[in-house]
Structure 1
Amino acid sequence: MERVAQRIDLPRSNQEEYLRLHRSVWPEVEATLTRAGIRNYSIFLADEMLFAYFEIDSATSFAHASATIAQDPKTREWWKLTDPLQRRVEGTPDNEQWFRLQEIWHLD
């Protein structure tokens, strides 16, 4: 299993809409995440920062899971609603929305 932590900013002016959307995440989007091998997915909010944590099944990789998710039309439609609400963190690669954090320690 691969653990992934990511962050992005969420301006206060966009928080109400972002939270509204996430109170009812589309079932098709959730199904795509599951199909891609994503498990134990959580998003947290602190001030204007979103922090996401999820795990990827050992049968796949981050790159493969990301590609599977990006190919889904319903997920791309979801991103058209959520991405404009977010503010990318400096240093985020051009082809990614969220900045991936480096894992430095873990305790089971």
Structure 2
Amino acid sequence: MRYCLALDLKDDPALIAEYEQYHEKIWPEIEESIRSSGITDMEIYRIGNRLFMIMETTDDFSFERKSSMDAGNPKVQEWEDLMWTYQQALPLAKPGEKWLLMDRIFKL
């Protein structure tokens, strides 16, 4: 399965540069968490302060299971807290929401 998600960064060039540096080499515990949840490939793109993530997953991947796994992983919680330093919710996000799932509206 493929999922596409969006999120904003705080519109500050120094913070954006730091965020990108963290993603040049993510923590090994974070990569393990991503892979063990059933995500087989992940890419993040940026334009301005808008982020776009593409995730390829196994057929049995579940956002609920990933969320539960993350909640029980202190290193993931540490990473998420750190990343929130740089991120900001999209204007239409509900309280506590970060990455929002996008709807595909066209396919060639």
Q: How would you bin the TM-score normalised by the shorter chain?
A: 0.7 to 0.9
Aligned pair count reads: 106
Name the residue aligned to 2:43.
42
Name the residue aligned to 1:9.
8
Cα distance in 2, alignment partners of residues 17 and 84 from structure 1: 10
Contact residue 4 and residue 55 of structure 2 kept, 8 A: yes
3-state SS, counterpart of residue 29 of structure 2: helix
Name the residue aligned to 2:33.
32
Unaligned 5+ segments in structure 1 are none
Residue 64 (structure 1) aligned with residue 42 (structure 2): no
Contact residue 38 and residue 65 of structure 1 kept, 8 A: no
TM (norm. structure 2) is 0.85
Cα distance in 2, alignment partners of residues 66 and 104 from structure 1: 26
Cα distance in 2, alignment partners of residues 57 and 80 from structure 1: 27
C-alpha deviation, 1:106, in angstroms: 4.1
1:67-102 CA-partner distances (Å, limit 9, x unpaired)? 223322111111111112111101223232112211
CA RMSD of aligned residues (A): 1.6
Unaligned 5+ segments in structure 2 are none
TM (norm. structure 1) is 0.85
3-state SS, counterpart of residue 30 of structure 1: helix
User: Which residue identity lines up with residue 5 of structure 1 in the other structure?
Assistant: C
Question: Identity, % of aligned pairs?
Answer: 29
Contact residue 9 and residue 87 of structure 1 kept, 8 A: yes
